[in-house]
């Protein structure tokens, strides 16, 4: 595994009370009992601070002030690629990396892609068609009321709680996800980002994250603001 970085410097998060020990913060899976973990990386200190504020605000909006307070205990700091590689090699439970750029666009890299598709950390430049047909993981019996057609079965994904969305080319990965799930009542349903945005744009609560999976990395973890930009034609 060899990581590339066109930005020259990358940042990660450290606990504010680490007393100078520089213990890298590794996000645990949000379901108890799962060993999977994730490292969040950033293009700059400003990108890290902006993302932390965004996440804290979303948790507060959904009445999860305790989680928001935990994010307030994290501080950004530099990390070398050599050290990052050493941490990943030493811990096989680190199943993904995310990289957040100056626009707070969040890229996702699965561990099984590191060998053949090395993350090339850079600013965002992706144009996504809001009318492209994607496939959401939906649970039978969940298509009622105002959320009809958009009630994907929310579950942990590397280890992010979110709504997985797959391009047609990545449906093999979607099938693998479904095959390993204990719940037999899930299936794939066609959706578009434009359709999703219409359903969530006026919700008072934060609608959460949408995990945009492509055939190859980078994938994207999209928030409502990202959907708004995509639908407006601004890209990522």
**pLDDT at position 216:** 79
What is residue 150's three-state secondary structure? coil
At 193-203, the pLDDT tens digits run 999 999 999 98
CA distance 156 to 123: 27
Q: What is the pTM of this model?
A: 0.83
Specify the pairing of strand 134-139 against strand 106-110.
unpaired
**pLDDT at position 218:** 83
CA distance 62 to 101: 25
Choice among 36-40, 54-58, 115-119, 199-203 with the minimum mean pLDDT: 115-119
Could you tell me if 43 and 99 are in contact, meaning their C-beta atoms sit under 8 angstroms apart?
A: yes
At 88-131, the pLDDT tens digits run 999 998 888 889 998 889 998 888 776 554 556 655 566 889 99
């Amino acid at each position: 595994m060899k990581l590339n970085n066109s930005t020259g410097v990358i940042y990660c998060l450290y606990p504010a009370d680490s007393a100078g020990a520089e213990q890298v913060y590794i996000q645990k899976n949000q379901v108890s009992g799962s060993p999977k973990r994730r490292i969040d990386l950033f293009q700059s200190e400003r990108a890290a601070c902006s993302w932390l504020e965004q996440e804290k605000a979303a948790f507060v909006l959904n009445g999860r002030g305790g989680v928001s307070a935990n994010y307030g205990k994290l501080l950004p700091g530099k990390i070398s690629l050599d050290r990052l590689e050493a941490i990943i090699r030493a811990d096989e439970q680190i199943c993904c990396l995310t990289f957040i750029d100056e626009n707070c666009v969040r890229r996702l890299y699965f561990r099984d892609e590191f060998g053949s598709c090395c993350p090339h950390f850079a600013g965002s430049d992706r144009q996504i068609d809001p009318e492209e047909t994607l496939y959401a993981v939906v649970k039978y019996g969940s298509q009622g009321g105002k959320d009809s057609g958009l009630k994907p079965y929310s579950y942990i994904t590397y280890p992010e709680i979110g709504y997985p969305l797959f391009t047609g080319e990545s449906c093999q990965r979607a099938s693998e996800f479904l095959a390993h799930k204990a719940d037999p009542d899930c299936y794939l349903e066609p959706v578009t980002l434009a359709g999703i945005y219409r359903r969530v744009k006026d919700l008072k609560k934060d609608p959460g994250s949408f995990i945009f999976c492509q055939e190859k990395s980078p994938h994207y973890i999209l928030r409502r603001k990202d959907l708004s930009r995509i639908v407006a034609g601004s890209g990522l």
